Amino acid sequence: MARFTLPRDVYHGKGSLENLKSLKGKKAVIVVGGGSMKRFGFLDRAEAYLKEAGMEVMIIDGVEPDPSVTTVMNGAAKMLEFNPDWIVAMGGGSPIDAAKAMWIKYEYPECTFEDMCKVFGIPELRKKAHFCAIPSTSGTATEVTAFSIITDYDKGIKYPIADFEITPDVAIVDPDLAETMPQKLTAHTGMDAMTHAIEAYVSTANCDYTDALAIHAIEMIQADLVDSYNGDMAARARMHNAQCLAGMAFSNALLGIVHSMAHKTGAIFADYGAHIIHGAANAMYLPKVIAFNAKDPTAKKRYGVIADYMKLGGANDDEKVAALIKYLRGMNDDLKIPHCIKNYGADSYPTEQGFVPENVFLERLHDIAVNAIGDACTGSNPRQPSVEEMEKLLKCCYYDTEVDF
């Protein structure tokens, strides 16, 4: 028995932002990030559409990339004062994820962050507000997913909140918003989407409903990501749809240990100068995890199917897995993403010596491995790693060495 949940309405295509006019309610809060939505005029347009729909509008801005628990709590306090019946979150994964967590706290003020992190343990929402999400990056697909990723900076750990209760009611996937993405953001978010689709396809929770979405997303991302990165706006528009399809797949099929590892390494080296940006972490770890998971016969077959759809050749599943790994590494090269943490520079570009010193990585390795195994995404990975295997895998991701275990 399984459940497949998506937003009730997904408006898509150029100009679809205008559908905000059709929301029915009295008060809407718009949650945005650091300023790109304001700068490019989308925030003003959204506000005007909601006012046209007869709503009073309040804006919560300044949600930082990889939002913190504090940001969530502060935003929820503002919502409790304003009392909106619509929460409209617009921007990258960060403001939309933060708004989802604010939503929980707004509906259940007594709910703590620890309560929110209980997987599939969120109480029934929509007693106070409905939720509309409008992505401006082509990657996280949080506009259609049951997830929100919030960072506890005291612990340096990202926590996924997971429950179909936080799947938005309305998603507006307007490619106009993605046109302003700089190259680096296009690369990282695009590889995040590729990782979503591939992890969903080999997840132990995959099903016929999610497979169709995952495979089509993979084909689209293969066709369009590098062109989108190089400035082709028709490809960028298709990528906006592709990432959303990938999201529909993984929200229902769940993910795997690429994400577990990305969640547990993303903020843990912040004291050494930078985050490992989510999509870049995924792009670096995905080829390593494919090699590890392919020891599982079912996963190997499924990677083979992906390679077939991508027309990568290969006479048997081993060759197909190798071709898939090679192709993904080639995409990283095209997108100027390094292959390992050691070469991950503070600006996220490949460099001879990255910002995470070897001794610091090795010191923290054991804890990262334990935390990654405990991540909510590990349970649906096709091969369950031991702590020792996870440490070895993380080392391969640090040094770019071959996974032969």
Ligand X SMILES: NC(=O)c1ccc[n+]([C@@H]2O[C@H](COP(=O)([O-])OP(=O)(O)OC[C@H]3O[C@@H](n4cnc5c(N)ncnc54)[C@H](O)[C@@H]3O)[C@@H](O)[C@H]2O)c1
| Binding of residue 343 to ligand X (CB under 6 A) | no
Q: Are 176 and 15 in contact (CB under 8 A)?
A: yes
Q: In the set 6, 185, 215, 261, which binds ligand X (CB under 6 A)?
A: 185
Q: Pick the stretch among 15-23, 134-142, 334-342, 347-355 that binds ligand X (CB under 6 A).
A: 134-142
Q: Which does 136 bind (CB under 5 to 8 A by kind): Zn ion, ligand X, none?
A: ligand X
Q: In the set 19, 70, 83, 180, which binds ligand X (CB under 6 A)?
A: 180
Q: In the set 16, 142, 210, 243, which binds ligand X (CB under 6 A)?
A: 142
| Binding of residue 147 to ligand X (CB under 6 A) | yes
Q: In the set 7, 11, 66, 294, which binds ligand X (CB under 6 A)?
A: 66
Interface residues for ligand X in 258-317 (CB under 6 A)?
Answer: 278-279
Give the residue with the Cβ less far from Zn ion, 317 or 375.
375
Q: What is the Cα–Cα distance from 164 to 184, expressed in whole angstroms?
A: 31
Q: Which does 317 bind (CB under 5 to 8 A by kind): Zn ion, ligand X, none?
A: none
CA angle in degrees (0–180, nearest 5) for 202-342-161: 45
CA distances from 42 to 52, 89, 133 (A): 15, 12, 13
| Binding of residue 97 to ligand X (CB under 6 A) | yes
**In this structure, which long-range contacts are made by residues 366-370, counting pairs with CB atoms below 8 Å and at least 24 apart in sequence?**
366/391, 368/261, 368/264, 368/265, 368/268, 368/394, 369/394
Q: Which residues contact 41 (CB under 8 A, 6 or more apart)?
A: none
| Binding of residue 192 to Zn ion (CB under 5 A) | yes
Q: How far apart are CB 135 and Zn ion at their closest, in Å?
A: 13
CA distances from 298 to 211, 224, 231, 295, 382 (A): 14, 28, 38, 9, 8
- Helix (H) or strand (E) run with residue 242 in it: helix 233-253
Using a 10 angstrom Cβ sphere, with 0-12 exposed, 13-18 middle and 19 or more buried, the burial of residue 229 is buried
Q: Pick the stretch among 18-26, 185-193, 244-252, 306-314 that binds Zn ion (CB under 5 A).
A: 185-193
Maximum Cα–Cα distance for the chain, whole Å? Answer: 63
Q: Pick the stretch among 76-84, 136-144, 302-310, 347-355 that binds ligand X (CB under 6 A).
A: 136-144
Q: Taking the mean position of all CA atoms in its chain, how far away is CA 107? A: 24
Residue numbers at the binding site for Zn ion (CB under 5 A):
192
Residue numbers at the binding site for ligand X (CB under 6 A):
33-34, 36, 65-66, 91-94, 97, 136-137, 139-140, 142, 145, 147-149, 158, 177-178, 180-181, 185, 189, 192, 278-279
